[in-house]
Amino acid sequence: MTEPKQIAIVGAGVAGLAAAYDLRQAGHDVTIYEAAPEVGGLAAGFKAPHWDWTLEKFYHHWFQGDKHILGLIERLGWSDQVVFPRPYTVVYYKDKFYPLDSYSQAFTFTLRNFGPVNLVRFGL
């Protein structure tokens, strides 16, 4: 093993936290500097007082196939805190909500609202 080093990491986003974890596992002293009041970077969330859940500040997410990040989460013992909810996707158009959770729904919505020529333009 190499001589332990003192290492500074700027940013407590997912990448900074993962780097700090790996460096600590290798025996180095790590200090993380973060400007925000919470960790997580772009993946951090916020919670309204009446919510039971948090919503990410930016569109950042993990997929069930993201083996590396899920492996890290498992090593940290946090697997029980990861949830993959079934999303419900809709579009609001002309004062009405249209579900878009399947190809057939997207096809029908586009055909009814924009016509057959636009099916080709939208790649449907």
* pLDDT mean across residues, the chain: 88
87 closest CA partner among 107, 68, 111, 63: 63
pLDDT score for 43 = 84
- Beta strands 6-10 and 96-99 are unpaired
pLDDT tens digits, one per residue of 16-52? 999 999 999 999 999 999 999 989 888 888 888 999 8
Structure-token pair, residue 95:
């004062």
CA distance 67 to 81: 16
CA distance 7 to 23: 8
The share of the chain scoring above pLDDT 70, in percent, equals 97
- The total number of residues written for the chain in this structure: 124
